[in-house]
C-alpha cells in the first residue's frame, strides 16, 4: 500500500477495525528514514484543535516555589537562572549556591533536605487524586487535547516505568498518573499527548545550568543515557499510544530518532511530533511565551503558563497570572495565524488546581462555549487582521463559507467598523451568541455592523456569511 493510500485509510476514511487490520497484517508503512518520515501529513485533528492544556506536575509541585521574576523573554537573560520563575526548575535553582530558591529551601526544609525526598510526599498526595475531575475541568475549558509531563528535567517519571534509572533507583511514581489521566482525557473525547524531557535529565548531571549556553552542554551524551531516553520513549508509545510526542530541549546524539519516529507513526498514524528533538524534522513548532506575528504556514503551537511558571508556583497571584480578557485575545490571535495554544496548568501535588487558575479556565470555557464556532475547525483567512490597523484590534478566521471577525477588546456599542472588506448584498451578519442576525451596511472600504448591546466583557465575534472580499 502506498503512503497516500495508507493515510486515507488510517486518518479518517477507515474505521478503527480496518486500522487494526492493517497493523495485524504487519504493515509498517513508515520506514526509519527521514525521506519516509517526511511524508507524514499534519493530521486534521491537530490543525483543527486550536486549544490544548499542558500539565506540568511532578516533585517540584511539592515545594511549588520560584521567584516570579517575569515572563520568559521579558527577563534579563543574566538573571534568568538564579531568579528562575519556572518552579519546575526548582532543583536546578537549588543547586545554584546563594539563589533565592536555595535560601527558601534551607529555611523551609533544612539545607540538607534532598530534593528527591519530595518523592514520598508526592506519592502520598496523588493517591486520592481523581483524574476524571481534572479531565472534566480541561474539557469544560474547551480543550481538545492534553499534554502531560511524563518526565521533566529532574528525571522523575509520572508512570511506574519498567526502565530503571541506572543512577537513581525508584525514580517513578507508584501510581500510573499518565495512564490514569490518559483514560480520563480520552473518556471526554480529548486526545492525550506526552511531554518528555529528552535533553535534560538532572539525575545524570550534577552541575547546575547557570546560563542559556549551559543548556546544550548539560545534555547527557553517554550511550547509557541515549538508550535510557530511547527506552522511555518506546515505553510511552507502547503503553499509552500518545497523540503527541512532545519532547523538550534536545535529544542525546546517540539516540535513535528515525527508528523512534517510525515506530510512533506506525503505532499512531495521526500522531504529531514537536520540534524540540534537536533535528529539523517536526510536525509543528513550539514558540514558548511567544507567538508569530503573521499567518505561518508550518503548523505551530504556542505554549505558556497561566502565570510566569509551568510548575505550580504558590507565590503567583493576579499580578503574574494572565487576565481572562488577555487570555481570550491571545487564543484568538494565535488561531488567526495558524497556531494552537497549549495553555499550561500547574496542579498542586494532590492534583487540585489553584483558585486563580480555575477562574481563568472557567472564563475561557464560558467564552468558547459561545464563540468556539469561530475558533475550532477554522482555517486562517487570506489575512489575520485588517490592512489599516486603526481602531479596535480585529482578527479573522475562516470556516466553510463564513468569515469570523473577532474584536479583541470589548467594542463600543452600538456600532463597529470592519475595515477593508466588501460584503455582497444578502450577506448575513451575526454576533456570536446572539439569537438573530444584525443590520450592517457597506460604507466605502468598510462594513459597519450594528451590534446593539455589547454582549460581554471579552472579545466579541461576528459571523459573516458568505465571507466578504478582502481589499488590499
Ligand atoms: C522549557 C522549560 C520547561 C518547560 C518547557 C515548556 O524548555 O525548560 O521547564 O517544560 O519548556 O515549553
Percentage of the residues of the chain whose pLDDT score is greater than 70: 93
Strand order of the β-sheet with 145-151 is 272-273, 244-248, 191-197, 145-151, 51-55, 339-345, 300-305
Q: Using the Cα atoms of residue 318, residue 321, residue 322 and residue 327 in order, give the sign of their dihedral.
A: negative
**Cα 363 to Cα 196: distance, rounded to the nearest angstrom:** 30
Residue 364 CA, ligand 1 centroid: distance in Å: 23
Q: Is the pLDDT of residue 115 over 70?
A: yes
Q: What average pLDDT score do residues 436-450 get?
A: 95
Residue 309 CA, ligand 1 centroid: distance in Å: 9
H-assigned helices in 241-305: 257-267
pLDDT classification of 7: cutoffs 50, 70, 90: very low
**Cα 199 to Cα 195: distance, rounded to the nearest angstrom:** 12
Q: Does the model's pTM come out above 0.85?
A: yes
Q: Is the pLDDT of residue 145 over 80?
A: yes
Q: Give the per-residue pLDDT at 28.
A: 59
Percentage of the residues of the chain whose pLDDT score is greater than 90: 88
**Atom 9 in ligand 1: residue holding the nearest Cα:** 88
Q: 100: part of which helix (H) or strand (E)?
A: helix 100-109
Residue 147 CA, ligand 1 centroid: distance in Å: 13
The residues near 5 (Cβ < 8 Å, ≥ 6 apart) are none
Q: Give the per-residue pLDDT at 389.
A: 61
Q: What average pLDDT score do residues 157-171 get?
A: 94
Ligand 1 atom closest to Cα of residue 286: 12
**Cα 126 to Cα 24: distance, rounded to the nearest angstrom:** 37
Mean model confidence pLDDT for the chain: 92
CA atoms within 13 A on the CB side of 449: 28
pLDDT per position as a tens digit, 299-333? 999 999 999 999 999 999 999 999 999 999 999 99
Task: Judge if the beta carbon of residue 215 lies within 6 A of ligand 1.
Answer: no
**Cα 328 to Cα 375: distance, rounded to the nearest angstrom:** 11
**Cα 348 to Cα 313: distance, rounded to the nearest angstrom:** 9
Q: Nearest to residue 50, comparing CAs of 405, 460, 397?
A: 397
**Cα 190 to Cα 459: distance, rounded to the nearest angstrom:** 25
SS3 108: helix
Fold of 3-374: TIM Barrel (3.20.20)
**Cα 104 to Cα 94: distance, rounded to the nearest angstrom:** 9
pLDDT per position as a tens digit, 47-98? 999 999 999 999 999 999 999 999 999 999 989 999 999 999 999 999 999 9
Q: Give the per-residue pLDDT at 422.
A: 96
Q: What average pLDDT score do residues 268-294 get?
A: 97
- 394-470 matches 3-374 in CATH topology: no
Provide the grid cell at 418. 470592519
pLDDT per position as a tens digit, 334-359? 999 999 999 999 999 999 999 999 99
**Cα 117 to Cα 41: distance, rounded to the nearest angstrom:** 44
pLDDT classification of 455: cutoffs 50, 70, 90: low
pLDDT classification of 24: cutoffs 50, 70, 90: very low
- Work out the end-to-end distance of the chain between its first and last CA atoms, rounded to an integer number of angstroms: 46
| Phi, then psi, of 139 in degrees rounded to 5 | -65, -45
Q: Is the pLDDT of residue 22 over 80?
A: no
Task: Judge if the beta carbon of residue 88 lies within 6 A of ligand 1.
Answer: yes
**Per-domain residue ranges for the chain?**
3-374, 394-470
Q: Which one of 288, 291, 305 would you pick to mutate in the ligand 1 pocket, going by the greatest count of ligand atoms within 8 A of its CB?
A: 288
pLDDT classification of 410: cutoffs 50, 70, 90: confident
pLDDT per position as a tens digit, 361-385? 999 999 999 999 999 999 999 999 9
Q: Using the Cα atoms of residue 141, residue 438, residue 423 and residue 443 in order, give the sign of their dihedral.
A: negative
The residues near 62 (Cβ < 8 Å, ≥ 6 apart) are 118, 121, 122, 125, 349
Task: Judge if the beta carbon of residue 303 lies within 6 A of ligand 1.
Answer: yes
pLDDT per position as a tens digit, 234-256? 999 999 999 999 999 999 999 99
Q: Is the pLDDT of residue 1 over 70?
A: no
Q: Is the pLDDT of residue 23 over 70?
A: no
Return the CATH number of 394-470, one of 3.10.180.10, 2.60.40.1180, 1.10.357.10, 3.30.750.24. 2.60.40.1180
Q: What average pLDDT score do residues 192-213 get?
A: 97
Provide the grid cell at 442. 457597506
Task: Judge if the beta carbon of residue 288 lies within 6 A of ligand 1.
Answer: yes
Q: What average pLDDT score do residues 6-16 get?
A: 35
Q: Which one of 56, 85, 248 would you pick to mutate in the ligand 1 pocket, going by the greatest count of ligand atoms within 8 A of its CB?
A: 248
Q: Give the per-residue pLDDT at 404.
A: 98
Distance of CA 380 to the CA centre of its chain: 19
pLDDT classification of 26: cutoffs 50, 70, 90: very low
Q: Give the per-residue pLDDT at 6.
A: 35
Q: Which residues of 118-153 are buried (b: 16+ CB within 10 A; e: fewer)?
A: bbeebeebbeebebbebbebbbbbbbbbbbbbbbbb
Q: Give the per-residue pLDDT at 15.
A: 34
For residue 407, how many other CB atoms are within 10 A of its CB?
Answer: 25
**8 Å CB contact between 184 and 169:** no
**Atom 8 in ligand 1: residue holding the nearest Cα:** 249
Task: Judge if the beta carbon of residue 250 lies within 6 A of ligand 1.
Answer: no
**Cα 336 to Cα 2: distance, rounded to the nearest angstrom:** 34
Amino acid at each position: 500500500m502506498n503512503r497516500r493510500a495508507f493515510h486515507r485509510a488510517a486518518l479518517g476514511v477507515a474505521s478503527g477495525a480496518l486500522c487494526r487490520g492493517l497493523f495485524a497484517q504487519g504493515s509498517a508503512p513508515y520506514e526509519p528514514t527521514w525521506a519516509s518520515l517526511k511524508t507524514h501529513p499534519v493530521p486534521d485533528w491537530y490543525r483543527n484543535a486550536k486549544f490544548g492544556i499542558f500539565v506540568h506536575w511532578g516533585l517540584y509541585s511539592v515545594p511549588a516555589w520560584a521567584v516570579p521574576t517575569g515572563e520568559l523573554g521579558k527577563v534579563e537573560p543574566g538573571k534568568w537562572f538564579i531568579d528562575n520563575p519556572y518552579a519546575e526548575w526548582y532543583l536546578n535553582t537549588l543547586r545554584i549556591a546563594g539563589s533565592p530558591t536555595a535560601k527558601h529551601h534551607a529555611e523551609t526544609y533544612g539545607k540538607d533536605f534532598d530534593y528527591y525526598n519530595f518523592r514520598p510526599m508526592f506519592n502520598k498526595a496523588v493517591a486520592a487524586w481523581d483524574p476524571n475531575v481534572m479531565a472534566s475541568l480541561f474539557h469544560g475549558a474547551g480543550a481538545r487535547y492534553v499534554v502531560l509531563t511524563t518526565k521533566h528535567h529532574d528525571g522523575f517519571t509520572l508512570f511506574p516505568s519498567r526502565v530503571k534509572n541506572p543512577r537513581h533507583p525508584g525514580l517513578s511514581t507508584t501510581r500510573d498518573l499518565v495512564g490514569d489521566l490518559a483514560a480520563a482525557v480520552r473518556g471526554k473525547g480529548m486526545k492525550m499527548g506526552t511531554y518528555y524531557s529528552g535533553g535534560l535529565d538532572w539525575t545524570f548531571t550534577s552541575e547546575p545550568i547557570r546560563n542559556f549556553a549551559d543548556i546544550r552542554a548539560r545534555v547527557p551524551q553517554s550511550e547509557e543515557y541515549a538508550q535510557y531516553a530511547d527506552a522511555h520513549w518506546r515505553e510511552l508509545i507502547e503503553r499509552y499510544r500518545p497523540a503527541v510526542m512532545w519532547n523538550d530541549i534536545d535529544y542525546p546524539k546517540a539516540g535513535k530518532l528515525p527508528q523512534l519516529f517510525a515506530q510512533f507513526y506506525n503505532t499512531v498514524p495521526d500522531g504529531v511530533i514537536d520540534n524540540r528533538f534537536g533535528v529539523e524534522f517536526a510536525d509543528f513548532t513550539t514558540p514558548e511565551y511567544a507567538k508569530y506575528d503573521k499567518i505561518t504556514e508550518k503548523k505551530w503551537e504556542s505554549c505558556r503558563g497561566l502565570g510566569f511558571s509551568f510548575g505550580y508556583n504558590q507565590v503567583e497571584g493576579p499580578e503574574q497570572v494572565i487576565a481572562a480578557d488577555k487570555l481570550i485575545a491571545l487564543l484568538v490571535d494565535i488561531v488567526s495565524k495558524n497556531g494552537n495554544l497549549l495553555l499550561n496548568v500547574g496542579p498542586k501535588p494532590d492534583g487540585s488546581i489553584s483558585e486563580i487558575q480555575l477562574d481563568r479556565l472557567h472564563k475561557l470555557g464560558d467564552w468558547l462555549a459561545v464563540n468556539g464556532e469561530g475558533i475550532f475547525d477554522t482555517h486562517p483567512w487570506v489575512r489575520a487582521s485588517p490592512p489599516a490597523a486603526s481602531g479596535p484590534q480585529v482578527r479573522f478566521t475562516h470556516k466553510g463559507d463564513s468569515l469570523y471577525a473577532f474584536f479583541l477588546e470589548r467594542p463600543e456599542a452600538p456600532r463597529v467598523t470592519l475595515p477593508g472588506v466588501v460584503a455582497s448584498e444578502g450577506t448575513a451578519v451575526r454576533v456570536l451568541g446572539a439569537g438573530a442576525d444584525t443590520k450592517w451596511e457597506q460604507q466605502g472600504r468598510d462594513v459597519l455592523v450594528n451590534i446593539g448591546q455589547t454582549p460581554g466583557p471579552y472579545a466579541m465575534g461576528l459571523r459573516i456569511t458568505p465571507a466578504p472580499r478582502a481589499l488590499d
